[in-house]
Amino acid sequence: MRARTWLRALAAGVAVLAVAGCSKADRAVMLAPGCPKGPAARPVPRAATPGTAYAFGPHFGAPAGSFREGAVPGLTDVVSLADSGHTTVAVRSDGTVWSYGTNVKGSLGHGSLERVHRAEPRQVTGIGPARAVYSSGPTFFVVLRDGTVAAWGSDRFLVRGGKREGYDGVAVPRPVPRAGNVVAMGPGQLSVLALRGDGRVLGWGINVTDVLGDRNSTGIGVVPDVRGAVDVATAGGAGVVLTAGGAVCAWGNNAHGLLGVEPTGGQSGRPVQVRGLTDIVQVAGGADVAYALDRDGAVWAWGRGVSGALGDGDTTDHVSARPVRVAGLPPVRRISAFHLTGYAVDTDGGLWAWGSGSGFGRPAGTTGGTARPVRIPLPGPALDVSGHHALVRDR
């Protein structure tokens, strides 16, 4: 036997033994089909229509008597917003950045770590011109018009691109080192993913579930084997991308079926295709649940279904590795997620929600979510949504 042939046979034998020594879930993940190679991707920033920031629920822990619902004073001409639950940050069409709510270790970006509540928006200085804003809990990331990223808030580790500097807050915007050519972002609670204009994905943060790919570093770097992406999301311990060919791929933790692999369990730094999803145009991620919007306006969900997060009529703590269609929605043009709540904006601008935070319109004092989508009343057509804030088209 030639040396090369012998080495190949040895490698194959080692791989078989490795698979044989794993659990059934580990084997299923290892043998799952990889992400399909599609057309080259050149994603561009999403075109945004300006609107007014509208609160349809209060900030968590807001003081009694503070602003709870309605058009946020001064936040008109907004093109992007991010609501962490305690703090809301908005980008206006002139590139300025504004914030209001409770300051959680610097989440307002106003230069203080003191926990105070600001009832009216104030400009975040030292940053701009900005294009879009995203949140990872009380840590905020702003993509500037030149494709770089600035960040501030409660987690210095994420603000500094995964550098081990502790977890004290950052009260003013700082540039995220080595983050450039960024088109969109998908921050999670422990890690951050950012889509570049070449279809590759940057990642940084904690990598215990391989959400940064098969590498040991926590610092910012390209996620290996992820190419051809046009949209990105983080769903708990897993990363999710949409490819230019309309397929969805995921990597990281499969404990809740986010890789679309059965039986659930195991994890992989190698992206695998989530089967059953075709002609997808957008992805979104919550807390261990993911969503996809297809070209026909249908919304699909997979992962953890507690409190109705899958929109499948079941509020128990169950899991689906197979994407299920969220029933009861008209044709949809945009989706979003907040923890265990899914959101959809229909083609007429109607805003719908399901899951743990979707008990809107219930009698005061009642809690819990809904397992089917419910309509959230707004004063005008919705353009986008984050947390308990919607971007409503200016009249």
Contact 313, 279 (CB under 8 A): no
Question: Per DSSP, what are the bridge partners of residue 301?
Answer: 291, 324
How far is it, in rounded angstroms, from Cα 363 to Cα 368? 12
Contact 131, 108 (CB under 8 A): no
The 10 Å Cβ neighbour count of residue 255 is: 20
How far is it, in rounded angstroms, from Cα 40 to Cα 42? 7
pLDDT tens, position by position, for the chain (395 residues)? 444 444 344 333 434 434 445 789 989 999 999 999 888 899 999 999 999 999 999 999 889 888 889 999 999 999 999 999 999 999 999 999 999 999 999 999 999 999 999 999 999 999 989 999 999 999 999 999 999 999 999 988 999 999 877 667 999 999 999 999 999 999 998 999 999 999 999 999 999 999 999 988 899 999 999 999 999 999 999 999 999 999 999 999 999 999 999 999 999 999 999 999 999 999 999 999 999 999 999 999 999 999 999 999 999 999 999 999 999 999 999 999 999 999 999 999 999 999 997 555 444 444 567 899 999 999 999 999 999 999 999 86
Tell me which residue range forms the domain holding 256. Answer: 32-393
Q: With respect to residue 184, please indicate whether it lies within any of the assigned structural domains.
A: yes
Rounded to a whole number of angstroms, the CA Rg of the chain reads 21
Residue 2's pLDDT is 46
Given strand 221-222, what is the order of strands in its sheet? 182-187, 191-196, 201-205, 221-222
Q: With respect to residue 14, please indicate whether it lies within any of the assigned structural domains.
A: no
Q: What is the CATH number of the domain that holds 356?
A: 2.130.10.30
Residue 110 gets which letter from DSSP? S
Q: With respect to residue 15, please indicate whether it lies within any of the assigned structural domains.
A: no
Q: With respect to residue 172, please indicate whether it lies within any of the assigned structural domains.
A: yes
Tokens 């509208």 — which residue? 54
The token pair that represents 394 in the structure block: 């200016």
Q: With respect to residue 20, please indicate whether it lies within any of the assigned structural domains.
A: no
Please write down the long-range contacts of 249-252, taking CB distance under 8 Å and 24 or more positions apart: 249/35, 249/36, 249/273, 249/274, 250/274, 250/290, 251/210, 251/211, 251/213, 251/223, 251/226, 252/209, 252/210, 252/211
Question: Per DSSP, what are the bridge partners of residue 237?
Answer: none
Q: pTM for the complete prediction?
A: 0.92
How far is it, in rounded angstroms, from Cα 264 to Cα 384? 32
Q: With respect to residue 379, please indicate whether it lies within any of the assigned structural domains.
A: yes
Tally of domains within the chain = 1
Residue 244 gets which letter from DSSP? T
**Mean of per-residue pLDDT scores for the chain:** 91
- Write down the H helix ranges in 32-183: 156-159
The H or E element that residue 355 is part of is: strand 351-355
Q: With respect to residue 2, please indicate whether it lies within any of the assigned structural domains.
A: no
